[in-house]
Structure 1
Amino acid sequence: MSMSKIYNFMGFRKAATALSGLLLVISIASLAINGLKFGLDFTGGSLVEIGYEQAPDLNQIRDQLKQVGYNDAVVQTFGTPTDILIRLGQDHDPKLGDKVLATLQEGQEQSLELRRNEFVGAQVGEELREQGGLGMLLALFMIMVYVALRFQIKFSVGAVAALVHDVLIVLGFFSVLQVDFDLTVLAAVLAVIGYSLNDTIVVADRIRENFRIMRKGSPTEIMNTSLSQTLGRTLVTSLTTILVLVALFVFGGEMIHGFATALLVGVLVGTYSSIYVAANVMLMMGICKEDLMPPEEKEETVDELP
């Protein structure tokens, strides 16, 4: 096997543990004190759809709505550039659509059409929130079972610790900055779990292989060798993913800002956790060659016939 340069990743594991601990404490504290700023998908609110003859300026619409007190309005195109969907986090008012239409019609030469005025109930939001949380817990449990069967129980604990670490920090990011948390962000958090797990599995596979073929070397040295050998693949995957996400964030419009933001944070944290959290947990649990050696096959003795 050709050996590339070996980096002493585990030499910084104490500092990495302190950094992860600090980020987790901040995230958990913010989630406990501030909570998440749930969007209309979870809290309920009103939806107003307005039809324009010509594509309007979305920023101008937001400014018009803020001037009359709709500060939390989410404005986005819906299907076509002339079809505008407005989300308002307030109780349902049968006349709300007419009020929004009158506000936006001021100063407009073109005629506007009210196409929809609906209410999304908070009960639906509560069900979505509960089912989303249960789905995430179930996903983590199934991942733990899979990694334990595919590799070994210490790998399983390390992989799930990395995933929980990533999810909590992404949620903490949204809690600290009070960025809207809606269904697109929840989808991004689930995607972060998949991305981080894929990265962790690649690293774990190389760690297992090196534990079996490297006759010399401590567990720390084997970890450093494995992480160094997969570093190129990790960086290329992360950088190409980040480039796509930056393009989505900049050019994708307001509708997917939260999605792109969650994935950007998740990819950065997931890359870090694959190197430092998963491997670090394995070392803390005392991973050794005996854990990964294949079981010896029992030789069957056949009695010779006289």
Structure 2
Amino acid sequence: MSEQKVINFMGQRKLAAVFSLLLVIASIGALAVKGLNFGLDFTGGTLIEMHYPQTANLTDIRNDLREQGYPGAVVANFGTDRDVVIRIQSDEAEVGGKIAEELKDGYVGEGEAELKRVEYVGGQVGAEFANDGGLGMLFALIVVMAYVGIRFQFKFSVGAVVALAHDVLIVLGCFAIFQFDFDLTVLAAVLAVIGYSLNDTIVVSDRIRENFRKIRKSEPIEIVNISLTQTLGRTLITSLTTLLVLLALFLVGGELIHNFALSLIMGVVVGTYSSIYVAANVLLALNISNEDLMSVEKEGEDQETLMP
């Protein structure tokens, strides 16, 4: 059986580092200059759910809302083609009922349109959502660093957190650059990106640690290349199958989860790249060596001797 050809990933590590640094700087700059285009969940506003006796014409509803002075209203089907959810930025709690009555009066089909619910989110509540979301992401990164530090070694935890922060910043930067709506579903997707990217990074880190224990005479850069080559197939298969599902959600999932799927697609692509070039690059920059893993090696050997 022929040996697997080792891909020299780290041969381009300096170029990858510059590329990642440029992306992160651009993302931070976009966040500082443009900021995120927060949705109703964060800015406050009104959500209206209507039920129509026939298939709802979303274009007509948008035109009606535009005539009422709400050109930025988000209109989408909710469950069936007869149920419609409308999101409107407004500081008045009573505006939802007024809009619903005008939509009911403007409906010209058979039967009568029905108002199912009206929900209002105040600006203060939206600000609390934004603060809680930011704290949630920060807490997730701290927990990840602690877990990887205990599970592997401190240098691995630094590499993992740098890779995760890299992924989150780039996804947020894309939303800031293109001014896509950032709501609670996108925040949930960003947190999911942290979990996805961490899973990939853990697999690569585990293989790097294992190869440091097995291949003692090779240089760290060679060991990292061998480890990345061995995990490449698993990484690509996982990413491609995940992307297929996300593309289906993006294309046919409807407007409500459009940005959710988009942010996850960005996260999977960037996370796959970072698990190869960012986390491993940081390890080499921190001069990872066999000496760093000696305690882990002894622990593994003791466990093996205890096994029947």
TM-score by length of structure 2 reads 0.91
Shift in CA distance, 227/102, structure 1 to aligned 2, threshold 3 Å: same
Q: List gaps (5 residues or longer) in structure 2.
A: 300-308
Structure 1 residues 106-135: Cα deviation after superposition (integer angstroms, max 9, x where no partner): 362232233434421111111111111111
Higher mean alpha-carbon deviation, 228-237 vs 64-73, is at 64-73
CA distance in 1, matches of 2:253, 2:80: 15
1:113 matches 2:114: yes
| Alpha-carbon distance change, 215 to 81 in structure 1, aligned in 2, over 3 angstroms | same
Distance 2:281 2:15 in 1: 11
Instruction: Name structure 1 gaps, 5 residues minimum.
Output: 298-306
Equivalent in the alignment of 2:29:
29
Tell whether the 8 Å contact from 1:101 to 1:113 is kept in structure 2 after alignment.
no
| Bigger mean CA offset, 128-137 vs 158-167 | 128-137
SS of the residue 1:293 aligns to: helix
1:244 equivalent to 2:245? Answer yes
Q: Contact 1:40–1:89 at 8 Å: present in 2 too?
A: yes
* CA distance in 1 between partners of 2:62 and 2:208 (Å): 52
SS at match of 1:69: coil
Asked whether the 8 Å contact 1:94–1:117 carries over to 2, the reply is no
| Contact in 1 for aligned 2:193/2:268 (Cα 8 Å) | yes
The offset of 1:78, in angstroms, is 3.4
Contact 2:54/2:109 (<8 A) preserved: no
Match of 2:217 in 1: 216
Q: 1:196 touches 1:271 (CA, 8 Å); kept in 2?
A: yes
* CA contact 1:196–1:267 (8 Å) conserved in 2: yes
| Identical positions, percent | 60
**Farther-moved stretch of structure 1 (175-184 vs 84-93):** 84-93
1:248 CA displacement? 0.4
Which of structures 1 and 2 has the bigger CA Rg?
Answer: 1
Question: For residues 71-94 of structure 1, what are the alpha-carbon distances to aligned partners after superposition, in whole Å with 9 as ceiling and x for unaligned?
Answer: 221112335432222110122153
CA–CA distance in structure 2, aligned partners of residues 279 and 118 of structure 1: 47
Q: Could you say which residue in structure 1 is the equivalent of 2:189? A: 188
Which residue of the partner structure matches residue 291 of structure 1?
292
Q: 1:147 to 1:296 in 2, by over 3 A?
A: closer
Give the match for residue 94 of structure 1. Answer: 94
- Identify the structure with the greater helix proportion: 2
Task: Give the Cα separation in 2 of the matches to 1:183 and 1:74.
Answer: 15
Structure 2 counterpart of 1:158: 159
In the alignment, which residue of structure 2 is the partner of 1:300?
A: none
Backbone CA RMSD of aligned residues: 1.9
Equivalent pairs, count: 297
What CA distance in whole angstroms lies between the structure 2 residues aligned with 1:258 and 1:79?
A: 17
For 1:104 and 1:65, how far apart are their aligned partners in 2?
A: 12
Structure 2 CA distance, aligned partners of 1:139 and 1:93? 34
